[in-house]
Structure 1
């Protein structure tokens, strides 16, 4: 049986591990404190949670379904139909619930796809430099010249989409929007990695024989988590607006799927006679964008130690 002294961890390692854990907890506590004191961010967070609950659980509680089309057409807002009815006799509350759900789903997928692509390509460009950096940077510059709405329209309406969508294309639209939404975050991550690759901890990992992937994903990218989180959050708001614009011109989500942008497009001719059909989905788009942007501003202030407006 070994001695207790032999089984105990080395004092230096134990102290270092405890220090790292304590430091990380203190950092996250400071971040949460800063965020909690950001009133606009808290308002945005509460509003976003309400919108998510409304979109994904509202249909379970609301008395009417989006498939119920037997009501009188163009009923104005009333006690039984707070948002009125549409041109098909459908309850607008149920339609808004369904449209908000699809818009949020699209935005989440876009944020995920664009963040993953942007972080990986930006990190590789910044760390490897040379021809890899030149190739990725020139490709980004080329795509930035062309308006994103034009690229999205071409991709979404391609014959490939028509082949694989099978009459349901919201996921395809989301993935394609994600494929063009990574440009800004890639440039930001590239700039940060260019600076971090010269730090002592990266030189030490390189001297110990760590592979490129290990250095990038285990040592460098964890130090950019604040930028990644903020940009991923803001990508949600950008995706909602871009999808709405695409659907408004008839090149985005198509029936039987729906979205807030598609609802605006379908009711654009009702603006003067039945304005609630146009303005209600528009208001929800604005609310989602405002909520996410407020959250993004709060996260940026919380992660940035140079911020003086909110004291920890």
Structure 2
């Protein structure tokens, strides 16, 4: 017999069982799955991924399937877009599809190198400044403040002008790698300041104190314990650095201080065809449109990643 006042065991109803099942599946979901679901719910970010993947495939594999090569320059000058030449031909008689494939490839290569280099330098210097503090922090922070006073475009223009002079003297006609390295060396300032601020906060946490008590070295604490907790900021900033690099390279090439022939880029194509805007507008607007698509798609991806990594987002439903 059941005693008076004692709780009576009841079997869970179907509705409560379903709720418990959903709760358990939500709790068991790993962090990367939650981040992925948040990202996929960001429609603009998903569209950005699709556009960016298409552009990468177009740039690095389009030349394998296209019937014309970028080096063919005897196809007729200034032919308008047609079935044979969807983007028309340029002033030298080159097929604009082939030229655009080549220019997009170089622009993306430069952007990837700049994003990797600037992220690496910014993360390392920002982490060391925030963790070590003292004279290391003062030295790095004052150097960043000094460089930020001068617009990065001006610094890049001066450095690129020197690399262009080297190419003119005949020692090196291929300068796109040099331009990429120069841009990477001046694009790390913002991410370094962000990482420094985060490390200043994380260095006082209990898990860092525990690592110090166990005798962990500075390098191990910084790179194995602190930086993994900033991976969301690193990924977002690295993504946005790609878009910034594309725009900066395009601006330099537009004024003749970036990539030089025989190399090419979307910015250089715009520079070479800027006087054709009235008579042959497709020569200008095709590379311009691709620059806009690259920048917008990468920025959409960065926005989606920022929202996906944001812990304040609501729990993703199954």
Structure 1 length as normaliser, TM-score? 0.90
Counterpart position of 1:279: 285
2:205 aligned with 1:199, yes or no? yes
The structural deviation recorded for 1:68 is 1.1
Q: 2:37 aligned to 33, 37, 61, which one?
A: 33
Counterpart position of 2:312: 306
Q: 1:63 aligned to 55, 60, 67, which one?
A: 67
Quick one: distance in 1 between partners of 2:159 and 2:302?
28
- Equivalences for 1:205-224 in 2 at 5 Å? 205-224=211-230
Work out whether residues 106 and 239 of structure 1, in 8 Å CA contact, stay in contact via their aligned partners in 2.
yes
The structural deviation recorded for 1:161 is 7.2
Counterpart position of 1:262: 268
Counterpart position of 2:102: 98
Single out whichever of 160-169 and 290-299 deviates more from structure 2. Answer: 160-169
- Consecutive unaligned residues of structure 2, counting only runs of 5 or more, are 1-26
The structural deviation recorded for 1:70 is 1.1
The structural deviation recorded for 1:300 is 0.3
SS of corresponding position for 1:63: coil
Change in Cα spacing, 1:260 to 1:148, as seen in structure 2 (3 Å) is same
- Consecutive unaligned residues of structure 1, counting only runs of 5 or more, are 1-22
Work out whether residues 164 and 175 of structure 2, in 8 Å CA contact, stay in contact via their aligned partners in 1.
no
Q: 1:237 aligned to 243, 257, 263, which one?
A: 243
Quick one: distance in 2 between partners of 1:305 and 1:159?
45
Change in Cα spacing, 1:89 to 1:145, as seen in structure 2 (3 Å) is same
Quick one: distance in 2 between partners of 1:248 and 1:133?
37
Q: 1:129 aligned to 130, 133, 138, which one?
A: 133
RMSD between superposed Cα atoms in Å? 1.8
Quick one: distance in 1 between partners of 2:260 and 2:235?
31
2:55 aligned with 1:48, yes or no? no
The structural deviation recorded for 1:307 is 3.1
Number of matched pairs: 290
1:273-297: CA deviation from partner (whole Å, max 9, x where unpaired): 1111011000000000011000000
2:115 aligned with 1:111, yes or no? yes
The structural deviation recorded for 1:156 is 1.7
Single out whichever of 51-60 and 161-170 deviates more from structure 2. Answer: 161-170
Change in Cα spacing, 1:267 to 1:48, as seen in structure 2 (3 Å) is same
Counterpart position of 1:78: 82
User: Once superposed, which parts of structure 1, at least 4 consecutive aligned residues long, lie more than 6 Å away?
Assistant: none
Structure 2 length as normaliser, TM-score? 0.88
SS of corresponding position for 2:30: helix
Quick one: distance in 1 between partners of 2:163 and 2:107?
23
